[in-house]
Amino acid sequence: MDLYIDTANLDEIRQANDLGVLDGVTTNPSLIAKEGVPYADQLVKICEIVAGPVSAEVLATEHDAMVPEAEELAKIADNIVIKLPCTPDGLKACKTLSDRGIRTNMTLCFQPLQAWLVAKAGAFLVSPFLGRLDDISEDGVDLVHKIRAIYDNYGYETKILAASLRHPKHIVDVALAGADVATIPYKVIAGAMKHPLTDSGIERFLADYRKALG
């Protein structure tokens, strides 16, 4: 399963990249707003750090405005992937851009039929938002299972990018459900390498060694 970081913060992206296991980045307008920098300027800097796919979301909501905005964003770097919402206009824009060779990440996916249609339109990635479904007492992980089954039944090549992951158990669950990619906030990535028995184990090994050999 590929690992993307879900942030627009350059320090977090650098720190995750330094771990040596980062495959890409997802951003969205809320994450960019937190950094207080115009979208395009921040994307240039992110693409200087990470060579893998960097998702950039359009602000337009209608097909005719989404497509030129996407084409401008795609000029920033070869690794830009255009994020479009799972709406009828987003679906049409996905088809238009896919036919022109521009990769898309279909975001805000909350039910399996949205995932089916964007795969038919040639999406590179689909982003089911698990945490936001869990927030309203639905089952986010179950959505990933359903999309995986539909894609496998018909051989769709769109990759499932599990998004809105809030804690380490979400990562385990989507890996078991067959997600192709998990996009994860920095603090959750850091948590994924932690276990108290690892820390206490190191302390005990060192203490035993020092006691015996100084």
Residues 132 and 167: their CA atoms lie apart, in Å, by 13
Q: Is 131 in the site for ligand E4P (CB under 6 A)?
A: yes
Residues 98-127 that bind ligand E4P (CB under 6 A): 107, 127
Task: Report the amino acid identity of residue 19.
Answer: L
Residues 167-186 that bind ligand E4P (CB under 6 A): 183
Q: Can 83 be counted among the known catalytic residues?
A: yes
Sign of CA dihedral 113, 114, 119, 121: positive
Among 164, 171, 177, 179, binds ligand E4P (CB under 6 A): 164
For ligand E4P, the closer of residues 169 and 204 by Cβ is 169
Q: Is 9 in the site for ligand E4P (CB under 6 A)?
A: no
Q: Is 132 in the site for ligand E4P (CB under 6 A)?
A: yes
Residues 144 and 174: their CA atoms lie apart, in Å, by 7
CA–CA distances in Å: residue 96 to residues 127, 151, 192: 19, 21, 38
Q: Are strands 125-128 and 2-6 parallel, antiparallel or unpaired?
A: unpaired
Among 26, 42, 96, 98, binds ligand E4P (CB under 6 A): 26
Question: What is the full DSSP assignment across 63-120?
Answer: HHHHHHHHHHHHTS-TTEEEEEESSHHHHHHHHHHHHTT--EEEEEE-SHHHHHHHHH
Q: List the catalytic residue out of 75, 83, 92, 146.
A: 83
| Least distance CB 120 / ligand E4P (angstroms) | 21
For ligand E4P, the closer of residues 114 and 127 by Cβ is 127
Active site residues: 83
Return residues touching ligand E4P (CB under 6 A). Answer: 6, 26, 28, 107, 127, 129, 131-132, 163-164, 183
